[in-house]
Structure 1
Amino acid sequence: MSFLDILQSREYSRSSLMMSTLLSNIPFTEDVDNQNFYIKENNAYTEDNVLVYNIFVYSIPKQLTEDDVRRYFSKFGNVLDVKLVADKRRSRRAAPKVGFVNFAASESACSALRKNNHRLQGVRIGVKPGDSWNQPNAEKACGSRENDNNVATTSKQTKKHVQQSTTKDAIATNSTHMLALNDDCLESIFGFLDLKAQVRFARVCQRFQDIFQIYCKREFKNFELHKMCNMTLWEMRDFLRFAGDNITSITGKVPYKNRERIMDFIRTFCVKLKCIKLDNSKTRNECLKKLLRGIPQLQELTLRDCALTDNSIQTMTHLKHLETLELAENYELTGKFISKLVQLKVLNFYGCSNIQTFHLVDICKTLPNLKSLDIRRCERIAPTLFDIMVKHCKELEILKMSCPEFPYERVAFLPNLKQLELLYYSWCSASQKRLLAELVTHKADQLEVLKIVAKNTLCTEHIELISQLRQLKVLFASNNPSVNDDSLVMLCKLQQLEELTIKGCSNITNQSVIKLVKSCQSLRHLNIQFCKKITIEFLLETIRFLKTTEKRKKPLVLVVYGTLIDHYGVSACDEYKEAEAQSLIKVIFHASNVDLGLDDGVDIYDIWDGEQWNDDDDGPTEDDDEDIYFPESDMDDDDIDFAYDIFGRIYPHGHDINDVIW
């Protein structure tokens, strides 16, 4: 049943039918995902509740003039001004024109937006509202939300007071007016607001904006993009305009709606960025190129699952300060052009299944400073890679890899290897044993981290070899039943051990784990999830032992979900409460990937049975396609991007924009 059928069904409530009446006032367009306005009482308003007078027009046939466009839109009402521009940067073909049409009356602009199908000389053109900040009433909207019934009265009163109080000295000391508060108080107020409210508060007057910028210096040096998820485009733009100079790191997913424009705001305002970590933020190569061109000092770049291609890598070759590049789950990458980034120290190809061996060989030969390499789930690896790696990667300290079917013990000869992580698809015990034997021979006093992410691949002989790696500080060996009480006794030799993950090793008991804790006194993180024989007696015995030792710098963290240690028993235990208060021990039940000893983004639950990844596909998502505005027209996204580059600024009244363009 369609949405309209539901609305019209007899079972639908009267209140729902009233809602359908309201919905009928909102025009339907083909560009629903990018809808940025609504209509009320024959007036169009932007998503910021700003009355629309200016409309943005695109895909205008190149032969049309401003007079032609003026005549067409004059049928909707009096047109004050028309500005058109063609993107002359491209030479392959004549570009269609884009620009703004400014109406004298808001009702006229609304009439133009209501019409779904605009054609000039038989060619369909696109029409949408201009940005909130380019509307005539934009600045008025900053001071008062006249269309928001909940805040209109308060905003009008605030605006009136701001107009009457031009300086701080003009306010009486006994006044309750907000401007009478000192800067520290106003800065504290910002701390109680969410980001959306902070931006609105900062817009009230110049003093509030100045204080917000001071607040941003402390609070937004490292910014997480999810905080902007409920903000309008104008609010996002203003936030980045206020805080951009202080932001050095941006992480998260760029919102799907207006993604490329948001990335352009980041490029424009966040000029001091050192680190960008984007997740699932697919965009065109041209947009990525513009972003990176504007941040030449970038040192860390993470683009996970962003549908990158080799051409995307070409846009990075100018980044002379880039040291960390993480490209996990970009399945089309082959490794081409990476060798040009000779300054790289950290390189992550996790899940890039199309990476070619000959490109990896070039990378190993040309990146002399490479310290960390992640090639897990890179399936096209050949044996020659490891010979080249041993010969050329003299500085490599961290290697994360999936175990291939051919022998791979050569990695034990890497000169500076300190951390090795093995992701298994299948059990290859012969190669595993040879690798561990070579590690004992060549790296017993050097290897600090060993993570074997697999199920049922370790035996007693393997554990005995691991116990000879004297400098081991971190060991991950979960879901291996052979890790039993006898195995833990062997691991007691690892006096430097700080983190141990034996999740799912169900054969261990209280006595062996307590012995391990007493022997490895540097231990600060122990993951025993789903070790079903571990009881609260282990916790109590551990606390008693810790009280007899010297004061610990950090508590011993126990991850115990799935054991016989339960929430109630821990919360009711006075002995545990006292030890926790003394920072001796801390019990947690639910653990993240970091608590499991793995990197964020690594799915450990789809590798146990030999499956490389989950091929299930539920069909395309909204992020699978680029933004499409009018599929039937010849409009090009570059036209809109170029127009916003030119028009997406606030110019003084009467300013001739053609002076800026040409």
Structure 2
Amino acid sequence: MELLNDDCLEEIFKHLNTEEQIANIAVCTRFEVILRGMWRRRTASILRCHMFDQLKIDTKKFEKYLFEVQFNLKKAEFIQLSERNIESLKKYYFPQVLELSCCTEFSEEPSDRLTKTLAICFPHLTKLYIESSITGKYISSLKSLTDLKLKCSNLEPKYCSSIFKNLKLKRFEATNGCLRLRKALRHLKKCVTLEEIVMNEYYLYDIVHVLPTLVNLRKITSYIGWDADYILKHLAFYFGKEMKTIIINNSIWPRIPVLCILPNMYNLEKLSLYYYELEESEMKELAQKLSNLRELYYNRCRINTEYGLLHFVKYCKHLEVLNVSETTISKTFINALNNFLRTTYRPKPLKVYCARTPINKYTIEKIEDLSPMLQISFTYIKQELTEPAMYCEWEPDVQEDELT
């Protein structure tokens, strides 16, 4: 190591985790100088505090790191913060940190030492994720906060109410927590700036009647269960005309009765169904109702009849994307699709994604008179929802008198 110059050593240190770098400052003075120089230029950090004991990182080493990064750090993630770590954080000021993710060691007793520290030391946060046993106190003092994710077990309704009332949140996520939060969510209507909600189904079930009062709301993601059809029916009733995108991952729960919901959303432009099974007659009915559809994703779905998909091509004149990746489509379907496009006028070509299907490039090359309106791609598009969930997006119809 003595033969390596400082630049080479710095390049080696860059490949170490942050906590491993902190452990190395005790090796020698040279290592400490190089590492401190690196930290002064650092703008993002992921720190796994539960590794401190294993790597023999004491409080003084941790505080040396905080001292060097405090004025340049813009994004940070602290994993498994202990009470001792929180005490160290209180000694420093992080004026440029805008995004912070932190979780603490498990505790059954609620404590607000963490949120109090954040309010003092990270005053300009715009995005915050907390996984801890907190009551929610002091979060409302973070006036710049627009994106908040809570995974907490002791939240108090009065503090949650203060958060919704005093902060101009644009995104709120609560995927896990406590029954107390369900009571606090009724105050969500106070947060008129809210644009996106991500939460478990049982939370959304309680506040579905509040959603129309949130005039800027335009995105909802819900981890679905037995009441998903109830939620979707209400969303269709409240926002059906403005709805533009629906994505449903139906991998675990019983099939959501999409037929009785989607026909009300006749301006829908994008529909994604994962792990679904629709009969040909159901596809035809959907296609007739959703004539403005531009993108259809029918992935990892069982296809009883391939001709059901042709109804979407027939009735949805503006359809530009048909993704049937990871299904069981055959050459017969491609031929039928090609014959239809050769004899029908369309304003734009139809791009069909066939990744991980029985169709391959050799199959396409053997098709005679391939229509220029048919474009085949074998590019795999990553699944948008990896867990059983539904995502809805619409264009809010905001009136000036409503905002005033």
TM-score computed with the length of structure 1 as normaliser: 0.44
Matched, 1:510 2:300: no
Which of 221, 227, 235 matches 1:428? 227
**Which residue pairs with 1:611 in the alignment?**
none
In structure 2, what is the equivalent of residue 441 of structure 1? 237
Q: Does 1:303 align with 2:72?
A: no
Q: Aligned equivalents of 1:525 and 1:224: distance in 2?
A: 42
Distance 1:248 1:408, change over 3 A: same
> 1:475: Cα distance to partner?
4.6
CA distance in 2, matches of 1:525, 1:258: 55
Question: CA, structure 1 residues 271+478, in 2 after alignment: closer, same or farther (shift >3 Å)?
Answer: same
Partner of 1:373: 172
Code of the residue aligned with 2:360 in structure 1: it is V
Q: Within 5 Å, which residues of 2 pair with 1:235-384?
A: 241-244=36-39, 246-250=41-45, 256=51, 257=55, 261=61, 264-265=64-65, 267-269=67-69, 271-278=71-78, 281-288=79-86, 290-291=88-89, 293-303=92-102, 310-318=112-120, 319-327=122-130, 330=131, 332-349=133-150, 351-367=151-167, 369-380=168-179, 384=183
Question: Rg larger in 1 or in 2?
Answer: 1
Aligned-pair distance for 1:397? 1.4
Going from structure 1 to structure 2, the CA distance change for 1:303 and 1:383 (only over 3 Å counts) comes to closer
Say whether 1:416 aligns with 2:216: yes
Pairs within 5 Å for 1:524-603: 526=323, 528-529=325-326, 531=327, 533-535=328-330, 538=333, 558=353, 560-561=355-356, 565-566=357-358, 570=360, 572=362, 575=365, 586-587=377-378, 595-598=382-385
CA distance in 2 between partners of 1:270 and 1:573 (Å): 59
Instruction: Tell me the number of residue pairs that the alignment of Structure 1 and Structure 2 aligns.
Output: 360
> Displacement of 1:510 after TM fit?
2.9
Contact kept? 1:267, 1:290, Cα under 8 Å: no
Instruction: Output the CA distance in 2 between the equivalents of 1:512 and 1:236.
Output: 66
Q: Distance in 2 between matches of 1:516 and 1:353?
A: 46
Deviations 1:449-508 (A, max 9, x none): 445555444454x43422433454555543444x44444445545567676555454245
SS in 2 for 1:376: strand
**1:404 partner SS:** helix
Distance 1:542 1:267 in 2: 64
Q: Distance in 2 between matches of 1:359 and 1:503?
A: 42
2:215 counterpart SS class = coil
Q: Distance in 1 between matches of 2:143 and 2:41?
A: 29
Q: Deviation digits for residues 23-59 of structure 1, max 9, x if unmatched?
A: xxxxxxxxxxxxxxxxxxxxxxxxxx6xxxxxxxxxx
Partner amino acid for 1:324? K
- Give the counterpart letter for 1:271 in structure 2: F
Q: What CA deviation, in whole Å up to 9, does each residue of 1:260-296 have, x standing for no partner?
A: 7468536514732222245xx2232443564583422
* Between 465-474 and 337-346, the greater mean CA deviation after superposition: 465-474
Report how far residue 233 of structure 1 moved: 2.1
Letter in 2 for 1:410: H
| Structure 2 CA distance for aligned equivalents of residues 255 and 587 of structure 1 | 44
SS of corresponding position for 1:317:
helix
Is the alpha carbon distance of 1:574 and 1:344 closer, same or farther for their aligned partners in structure 2, counting shifts above 3 Å?
A: same
CA distance in 1, matches of 2:242, 2:97: 32
- Give the superposition deviation at 1:324: 0.9
Deviations, residues 594-635 of structure 1 (Å, cap 9, x unaligned) = x3213xxx7x37x9xxxxxxxxxxxxxxxxxxxxxxxxxxxx
Query: How far is 1:444 from its partner?
Result: 2.6
Aligned AA for 2:261?
L
Aligned-partner Cα distance in 2 for 1:244–1:356: 38
1:466 maps to 262
What displacement does 1:249 show? 3.3
Between the aligned partners of 2:42 and 2:292, the Cα distance in structure 1 is 39
In the alignment, structure 1 segments of 5+ residues that lack a partner are 1-48, 50-140, 145-154, 160-196, 204-222, 608-662
Could you tell me which runs of 5 or more consecutive residues in structure 2 were left unpaired when the two chains were aligned: 390-404
| TM-fit CA distance, 1:398 | 0.9
Q: Provide the secondary structure at the position in 2 that maps to 1:365.
A: helix
| Secondary structure of 2:378 counterpart | strand
CA 1:357–1:516 in 2, change beyond 3 Å: closer, same or farther? farther
User: Does structure 2 conserve the Cα–Cα contact (< 8 Å) formed by 1:357 and 1:385?
Assistant: yes
Decide whether the 8 Å contact of 1:370 with 1:393 is kept in 2.
Answer: yes
**CA distance, structure 2, for counterparts of residue 528 and residue 202 of structure 1:** 42
Which deviations, in whole Å up to 9, do the C-alpha atoms of 1:378-437 show, x marking residues without a partner? 3415665454212x1211111112122965431431322211122134x136xx33x434
Find out whether 1:233 has 2:34 as its counterpart: no
State, as a whole percentage, how many aligned pairs show the same letter.
18
- Give 1 or 2: higher strand fraction: 2
User: 1:278-327, CA deviations, whole angstroms, 9 ceiling, x for partnerless residues?
Assistant: 5xx22324435645834222111123677596322221103332111123
* Distance in 2 of aligned mates of 1:419 and 1:588: 27
Equivalent AA in structure 1 for residue 145 of structure 2: L
C-alpha contact (below 8 Å) 1:419/1:447 kept by paired residues? no
Preserved contact between residue 199 and residue 223 of structure 2 (Cα < 8 Å): yes
